[in-house]
Structure 1
């Protein structure tokens, strides 16, 4: 899944060559054609392949998938002239107060059998990866590396992402399955610092055995400084 800026031929071909579907967004002026599905006339020459250019103001061959008071979803398998391949196109129309279309977005998937709502759900989830990059940069030092070799840089990034995955796993376990989970790496670092500070203080007072009691105190001292979700 990628933003529309990455919907380039090289990226699409690279992803699909690895056996993965590519999901992204078309511009409003995308050059798409309907595939001809009717009977072919008996004449010389190649059989008819296309049935006109896609006009997003009409959507004459698109199938309506769902409709709400503010959104309509249409889908159809079309031909992308740019990439010379079939794609699953999904048009999301924004509906005004009078029921007219006031705007639209065109998503696509190279997997033509993928349902329209799955395409929408996957595309809308793409922003979650930005949260991963943010945590890796701000709290785990993904950019704080002075290595110049590619293996060294990749090893550094692998360690950063491994640490992030372990933190998310710990948060899932603490949430007992992930229901209503609000993940914050900053809060996890703060809580770890509080735990370390508490251990140092208790060890100086010869009270290390009572560290486990901090988890159950009503004042929740280990959660001091955490942001309210």
Structure 2
């Protein structure tokens, strides 16, 4: 990895942030530049590769000891996103509630613990988790916290996120989430705010049908579905207003997507919503948008080092997460303000924005090496050698 000689241009808005002092702005730009362009995104890795870093110790103190307001940073980050049409909120968007696991090792890592991972159906290793909410691909707020096995803490965090979204003025009318949040407590909380929601429920959820309370997967064996094309895909659909679980009377949609692969298992979903009058195709399209948060988690893990933080200080872990969110938003905001970036910004992955920033860091290095008569090839090689110490 070549040394990074200048802060990335996407970090320029940090100079206007009031949550940081002048010295703190320098550290924030160092850290964000490292999260975007460095290959090793730990404090040590960033301090080694970003030549403007004061020192590893100074960067560590910025994360664990400096007094800067994370909530104010979040508000200023959100205000920045409102300045471009591509990242501005609108009432037509959605909020996605979800959580993710990141693998950690070491008993002293904040929030680390052993949790059941429903994605791989096992409990193993030290894990930390983050509950996250995001309107489409422009995340407004998050919580970094351990989850409890009984699912209660997961729902409590989701309720806190909804309260914060309302407080900061996110104008979204529809919330999307998966089956782990489909609880009476959570949907009631949303409806008290006048929000609509779309979710999935587990196959063993009870539903009223024919005077009985039966499992929803048993109901799917009794009904006749109708084929319908949605966005080029064929779904076999059945929908009615039913009393489902403890959610009360909601619209229930049972849908099976056709696949051209004969070996692929049928994809059956049990979707519920308080949008009683919404067409089935609309609910399918909405629920499909929930996977955008999975793209966000993948991008932040692969490209911005989410999970690479090795700080043993809880405040440092929280600061790292807020700065990672800032890096993500600055990349998206920078893309929205450029002609090329407008095209890249619509890509499903963050990878194009990261590639653009890496190209910029290489350009800055070459400029740094060529524009000063006092710098030689030997000095440049010396800087490169320093990265391997």
TM-score bracket for this pair, using the shorter chain length = 0.5 to 0.7
Tell me, in whole angstroms, the C-alpha distance in 2 between the residues paired with 1:91 and 1:32. Answer: 12
Across the two proteins, how many residue pairs are aligned to each other? 182
TM-score (normalizing by structure 2): 0.39
- Max radius of gyration: which structure? 1
Which structure exhibits the higher relative contact order, with contacts defined as CA atoms closer than 8 Å and separated by 6 or more residues?
2
Could you tell me which residue of structure 2 aligns to residue 66 of structure 1? 228
Q: Which runs of 5+ in 2 are unaligned?
A: 1-175, 261-265, 375-389
Could you tell me which residue of structure 2 aligns to residue 88 of structure 1? 251
Q: Is the 8 A contact 2:238 2:253 kept in 1?
A: yes
Among candidates 239, 248, 272, match of residue 108 of structure 1: 272
SS in 1 for 2:314: coil
Deviation, structure 1 residue 122: 2.2
Are 1:24 and 2:199 matched, yes or no?
A: yes
Tell me, in whole angstroms, the C-alpha distance in 2 between the residues paired with 1:73 and 1:175. Answer: 41
Are 1:148 and 2:323 matched, yes or no?
A: no
Q: Is the 8 A contact 1:23 1:119 kept in 2?
A: yes
TM-score (normalizing by structure 1): 0.60
Among candidates 330, 354, 358, match of residue 190 of structure 1: 358
Q: Is the 8 A contact 1:65 1:116 kept in 2?
A: no
Among candidates 203, 206, 228, match of residue 371 of structure 2: 203
Q: Is the 8 A contact 1:142 1:157 kept in 2?
A: yes
Cα gap change, 1:175 to 1:23, in 2 (>3 Å): farther
Deviation, structure 1 residue 7: 2.9
Q: Which runs of 5+ in 1 are unaligned?
A: 35-49, 207-229
Tell me, in whole angstroms, the C-alpha distance in 2 between the residues paired with 1:78 and 1:30. Answer: 12
Q: Is the 8 A contact 2:256 2:269 kept in 1?
A: yes
Matches within 5 A, 1:47-58: 55-58=219-222
Cα gap change, 1:204 to 1:160, in 2 (>3 Å): same
Cα gap change, 1:158 to 1:14, in 2 (>3 Å): farther
SS in 2 for 1:194: helix
Could you tell me which residue of structure 2 aligns to residue 160 of structure 1? 324
Tell me, in whole angstroms, the C-alpha distance in 2 between the residues paired with 1:10 and 1:170. Answer: 39
Cα gap change, 1:78 to 1:134, in 2 (>3 Å): same
Cα gap change, 1:13 to 1:94, in 2 (>3 Å): same
